[in-house]
Amino acid sequence: MQDDSLSKLGGTCSTLLGVSYLGIAIAYIFLPAGNRVVGVGDAAQYYPAFLKNSTPAMLIYWATAIGGIFGIAAVQAISETVRSASEGWVRWTSYMALFGFAVKALDSFRGLTLIRMRAVAWVTGDASTQAAIGATRLTFDYHGWFTFGAVGLWAFVVSMLMLREGRRPKTLSYFGIAAAIAYWFTVAGFVFDSIMLLSIGIGLGGIALPVWYIWIGLILQHAGS
């Protein structure tokens, strides 16, 4: 039986993680057109746009940093609800998801410190400086294989096991599968340097991720109480 304290803590963190994703989706709408993707597209548009209006981008960095911390507790609690259905798959994918959320938190806190310096260096630097900055991204996980791909695999496994067990609403599982697909589209966007694929991931994730994490969070909180 799942410990009540894990359900309460994990449920609260899952709900807050969902809220953070909702905040990211809202902040993304207010990003200037040239400021919407860092690492994909034209750095010559991104960095000048960032310096003109950095607030939405910085809010996204804060949301992903704090959301990564919440995600660590959420993964543990959510995984426990289906662990008995497939111990091996749940344990393996949950460990990778934990690592993915931890890396995302580290990346985002690092970005909060360095992104403005990179933007200033781009705008004031020479061609070689701009080439060096444009060729790199502020992340340990360059294409998001762990921060998005592994977390997506975990969400997919958990959702499929929930669907198979039939103890949760099917719609909840479908949102989880949609969340996994959104994560994977995001990876594909970075791998293939495609703004279109990345936009699909962000658009689908802006709906599926908040709904799935908040819904599960509320279920866990209720179970813990």
Report the distance separating Cα 146 and Cα 67, nearest Å.
15
Report the distance separating Cα 202 and Cα 183, nearest Å.
8
The more confident residue out of 4 and 79 is 79
**Tokens describing residue 18:** 């969902």
| Maximum alpha-carbon separation in the chain | 61
Q: Which residues contact 70 (CB under 8 A, 6 or more apart)?
A: 13, 14, 16, 17, 20
Q: Which residues contact 167 (CB under 8 A, 6 or more apart)?
A: none
For residue 104, the Cα-to-chain-centroid distance in whole angstroms is 7
Residues 123, 48: contact at Cβ < 8 Å? yes
Whether residue 1 has pLDDT greater than 50: no
Q: Which residues contact 133 (CB under 8 A, 6 or more apart)?
A: 43, 47, 118, 121, 122, 125
Whether residue 186 has pLDDT greater than 90: yes
What is the mean predicted confidence (pLDDT) over 40-52? 80
- pLDDT digits 0-9 by tens, 91-124: 999 999 999 999 999 999 999 999 999 999 989 9
What is the mean predicted confidence (pLDDT) over 200-218? 96
Whether residue 184 has pLDDT greater than 70: yes
User: Which pLDDT score is estimated for 2?
Assistant: 55
Quick one: pLDDT band at residue 5, thresholds 50, 70, 90? confident
Report the distance separating Cα 206 and Cα 112, nearest Å.
22
Task: Tell me the residue type at 9.
Answer: L
Residues 182, 204: contact at Cβ < 8 Å? yes
- Return the axis-axis angle of helices 43-52 and 87-124, rounded to nearest 10°: 80
User: Which pLDDT score is estimated for 124?
Assistant: 92
pTM of the model: 0.91
